[in-house]
Amino acid sequence: MPEYRQDPLSQRWVIVGSERSSRPQEFVERTDRPSDLNCPFCAGNEEQTPHAVQIYPATNGRAKTFPWQVRVVPNKYPAVTTEVPASPTSQNGSLHRHEIGFGQHEVIIESPEHITSLSELSLADQVLVWRAYQDRLRTLRQDGRFKYVQIFKNVGAAAGASLEHTHSQVVALPWTPPDVQSEADRFGQHQTKTGRSLLTQIVEEELASGERIVAQSPRFVAFCPWASRFPYQVCLAPRKQAGTIEQLQAGELSELATIVGEVIGRIERALARPSYNLILHTEPFDIGSHDHYHWHIEIFPRLTKAAGFEWSTGCWMNPQPPEQAAALLRESGLSPAS
Amino acid sequence: MPEYRQDPLSQRWVIVGSERSSRPQEFVERTDRPSDLNCPFCAGNEEQTPHAVQIYPATNGRAKTFPWQVRVVPNKYPAVTTEVPASPTSQNGSLHRHEIGFGQHEVIIESPEHITSLSELSLADQVLVWRAYQDRLRTLRQDGRFKYVQIFKNVGAAAGASLEHTHSQVVALPWTPPDVQSEADRFGQHQTKTGRSLLTQIVEEELASGERIVAQSPRFVAFCPWASRFPYQVCLAPRKQAGTIEQLQAGELSELATIVGEVIGRIERALARPSYNLILHTEPFDIGSHDHYHWHIEIFPRLTKAAGFEWSTGCWMNPQPPEQAAALLRESGLSPAS
């Protein structure tokens, strides 16, 4: 049974054990990758995953070939599970704080075909993925048992992916994780102090300077953060404050899919298709409306490895100045003519 | 010029740029390893590293073959440098806090021969490495310009090492990093509240339960922490509170080298010589004597990869319950007879 445990020295929370737990040799790094024949995410292999909780049909001529375009399924090896009591919190009376690992862990399969990056999808199909993000956030918010939903992509083995077929993960938690709560608190404090969103101010400063801008569109800006902890880290945010992507309309979603696809494309061309992570930062469900959380996306290729210094100090070493990273990503155009 | 920068959203500090900065292709993962012929850490290649700041001669018969056994040199590609002003702090008036990257970055070369793990050294030579840790801590404390010294080992490419020849790194900082300060604060709070060391209490609870103990000796205990964030993570601590290893006498140092060697040996046998990190947690130099920091060592093989969930939430997923990890490490004896 998965469990949330808090380390008394670092006060870090860890989800320990779970369906993912198994024998030691399973942790050894695997270099072999599944072919599309035995990929559980490919159309035709639906029986290898749990029953879908949501399906988005293929559009245009593809509907004849594929029964679905995007498919949301419970994670077969969940880190947290709804099959345990949501409460009560248990305590063993010592220094060891822990709680039962209640939560919901899902996978968004982003294509019926065996492709390995979001950037290989048509724009319409990329929009469907963002539509699925919106729908899962709305559904899990309405569920009432969850306080926060983390949506993220691990692309490539170096980014922690075990399957290469393009997909996202959704983890719904009955509590707000510490780093998310700290960020929300900082948005609230900045709002109280200055009357505006911290990220709006950052975006304006980035636009004024220009040296770390990677891409922009009428509603969105992508830049390499001034204190990037990873080389080529990109933050993508709406120019105007909003706590979540749930209210974005069709046209806005299309614009978002376009600029995210552009950023991923630039990273893939500049760095020969590296492994990367994509993280959606969205508001905790119980945040006060006055706290003005400002949603954003982080995308970073996995080129360097966190090592002894980072694990110990919480301070990061990034050999690549973000000004240089942004310049290289800007140069990595969409086509020779761009 | 390296720079400390603080991210306004996460408040994370990052050391940006440095001598390590270079062209993008240098970040691409290298699988080729240097042979001992061109290894800059091997005896005979001393001119490939900066001049040694400290040298420990080989003992016994080896002195005829090798000019030194342990050699401490400035890092040729330092993350921080003493070649910049130690002050003043510069601020650019926006949200972007930063400071010049003053600091000292050294390498402890642990053997004249091309070996790849501490566990291959004789006990006497392992003790010399701990002697070097002690001496660097004392020297850098006396220097007066530093507030904290982080000593750590990255062993193997997956742990962030760029060279396989056994070595440690020493980073002296003019400030106390955030995670170290938080831990020190927690020791202080627990001491005030209960009159004793938080880690002494943890060690006593671990000994009472026994299920997470990996190894023990008269003065030291090694266990898998109750909320380990990594599979097979081991914490090694003295039974009695002490802020630093600087005062350990010869016999204590030998006992420490023995139990650290035993833990590394158990990990290497249980997991087919994985990459691993070793971190020394020691007191900040300006800590109050009433705060009773309790030094300890963390050792963890690099089997899983931090991915989107961890980078975003600050909460970790560890599929391996530490009780199971400790049992497997206990079974991984020193010899068939043990």
Hey, of B186, B312, B324, which one would you mutate to test binding to chain A, going by the most A CBs within 10 A of its CB? B312
Strands (E), chain B: 3-6, 13-16, 54-56, 70-74, 97-100, 104-109, 148-155, 167-173, 213-216, 220-223, 234-238, 276-281, 296-301, 316-318
Residue A173 lies in a domain: no
Which pLDDT band holds residue A37 (cuts at 50, 70, 90)?
low
pLDDT grade for A89, boundaries at 50, 70 and 90: low
B114 vs B38: CA distance, rounded Å: 10
Task: Locate A251 and state its tokens.
Answer: 């046209």
Are B169 and B220 contained in the same domain?
A: no
pLDDT of residue B11: 83
- Is the CB of residue A329 less than 8 Å from the CB of residue A271? no
Here the tokens at position B305 are 């990869």
pLDDT above 90 for B298:
yes
pLDDT 10s digits, B218-238:
999 999 999 999 999 999 999
CA-wise closest residue to B233 among B243, B241, B242, B223: B223
**DSSP helix/strand/coil, A292:** coil
Phi, psi (degrees; rounded to nearest 5) at A72: -105, 125
pLDDT at B6: 86
Structural contact between residues A45 and A131, judged by C-beta atoms closer than 8 angstroms: no
What is the average pLDDT value for chain A, to the nearest integer? Answer: 89
End position of a domain, from candidates B149, B175, B201: B175
Instruction: Assess whether B57 and B164 both reside in one domain.
Output: yes
Both B166 and B41 in one domain: the answer is yes
Same structural domain for residues B249 and B116?
A: no
Q: What is the mean pLDDT of residues A118-144?
A: 96
pLDDT of residue A100: 86
| Percent of chain A topping pLDDT 90 | 71
pLDDT of residue A96: 80
Q: What is the pLDDT of residues B315-325, one digit of tens each?
A: 999 989 999 99
Other C-beta atoms within 10 Å of B166: how many? Answer: 23
Residues of B in contact with A320 (CB under 8 A): 17, 21, 24, 27
Residue among A315, A320, A324 with most chain B CBs within 10 A, to mutate? A315
Tell me whether residue A114 is annotated as binding. yes
- Say which CATH number the domain at B116 has: 3.30.428.10
Calpha distance A254→A219 (Å, rounded): 11
Q: Is B99 on the interface with A (CB under 8 A)?
A: no
For chain B, give the mean pLDDT: 89
Q: Domain range spanning residue B114?
A: 3-15+36-175
pLDDT at B172: 97
- The pLDDT score that the predictor gives to residue A32 is 42
Do B152 and B205 belong to one domain? Answer: no
Whether residue B21 is predicted with pLDDT greater than 90 in this model: the reply is no
pLDDT digits (tens, 9 = 90+) for A99-112: 888 999 999 999 99
- The chain B residue lying nearest A311, using CA atoms, is B279
- Examine the domain organization and report whether B190 and B297 are in the same domain: yes
Looking at B156, B175, B194, the residue that finishes a domain is B175
> Which is more confident, B126 or A334?
B126
Q: Is there a single domain that holds both residue B171 and residue B184?
A: no
Is A162 within 8 Å of chain B by CB? Answer: no
Catalytic residue IDs of B: 167
pLDDT range class, residue B99, cuts 50, 70, 90? confident
Give residue A225's pLDDT. 95
What's the pLDDT tens digit per position in A147-159?
999 999 999 999 9
DSSP code of B158?
G
Alpha helices in B95-232 (DSSP H): 123-143, 178-194, 198-209
Region A71-88: what's the mean pLDDT?
83
pLDDT confidence band for B335 (50 / 70 / 90): low
Predicted pLDDT at A19 = 59
Query: Do B171 and B262 reside in the same domain of the chain?
Result: no
Determine the distance in angstroms separating the CA of A44 from the nearest CA of chain B, rounded to an integer: 28
Q: How would residue A31 be classed by pLDDT, with cut points 50, 70 and 90?
A: very low
The closest alpha carbon to B320, from A14, A107, A311, A155, belongs to A14
Using one digit for the tens of pLDDT, what is the confidence trace for A172-189? 999 999 999 999 999 999
| A29 has a pLDDT exceeding 60 | no
Q: Is residue B24 part of a domain?
A: no
d(CA A252, CA B53): 60
Distance CA A45, CA A238 (A): 38
Among partner residues A5, A18, A169, which is closest to B226 by beta-carbon distance?
A: A5
**B337 part of contact set with chain A, CB < 8 Å:** no
Q: Kindly state whether residues B282 and B222 are assigned to the same domain.
A: yes
Last residue of a domain, one of B113, B146, B175: B175
Place of tokens 């010899």: B335
Q: Is pLDDT at B252 greater than 90 in this prediction?
A: yes
In a domain, B8, yes or no: yes
CB pair distance less than 8 Å for B311 and A324: no
- Is residue B188 within 8 Å of residue B59, measured between CB atoms? no
Specify if B166 maps to a domain.
yes
Nearest CA in chain B to A273: B28
Q: Which residue has the tokens 């990220």?
A: A199
How much of chain B exceeds pLDDT 90, in percent? 71
pLDDT tens-place string over residues A132-142? 999 999 999 99
Q: What 3-state class would DSSP assign to A44? A: coil
> What is the model's pLDDT at position B156?
93
> Do B215 and B163 sit in the same domain of this protein?
no
Whether residues A16 and B322 touch (CB distance < 8 A) is answered with yes
Nearest residue of B to residue A181, measured between CA atoms: B313
pLDDT of residue B15: 86
* Contact status of A191 with chain B (Cβ, < 8 Å): no
- SS3 assignment, position A202: helix
**pLDDT on residue A187:** 94
In a domain, A16, yes or no: no
CA dist., res. A222 & res. B175, Å (int): 32
Same domain, B120 and B138: yes
In a domain, B44, yes or no: yes
Residues of A catalogued as catalytic: 167
In chain A, pLDDT over 70 holds for what percent of residues? 89
CB-nearest to B28 from A13, A303, A315 is: A303
The structural domain count of chain A equals 1
A-B C-beta contacts closer than 8 Å: 284
Domain for residue B29, yes or no?
Answer: no
pLDDT digits (tens, 9 = 90+) for B134-170: 999 999 999 999 999 999 999 999 999 989 999 999 9
The answer to the question of residue B167 being in a domain is yes
Test B271 with A24 for CB contact under 8 angstroms: yes
pLDDT in tens, A247-268: 999 999 999 999 999 999 999 9
User: In whole angstroms, what is the distance from residue A19 CA to residue A28 CA?
Assistant: 17
CA distances from A275 to A101, A155, A222, A304, B257 (A): 29, 5, 19, 11, 38
Quick: pLDDT tens for A191-211. Answer: 999 999 999 999 999 999 999
Q: What is the pLDDT of residue A86?
A: 64
Whether B267 shows a pLDDT value over 80: the answer reads yes
Q: Which residues contact B73 (CB under 8 A, 6 or more apart)?
A: B49, B50, B51, B52, B53, B106, B107, B109
Give the closest of A27, A306, A312 to B231, CB-based: A27
Contact yes or no for A21 and B320 at CB 8 A: yes
Would you state the pLDDT for residue A276? 96
pLDDT at A22: 45
Tell whether B203 and B298 lie within a shared domain: yes
pLDDT surpasses 90 at B113:
yes
Q: Which of B191, B317, B323, B332 to mutate to test the interface with A (most CBs of A within 10 A)?
A: B317
By CB neighbour count within 10 A (0-12 exposed, 13-18 middle, 19+ buried), where does B134 fall? middle
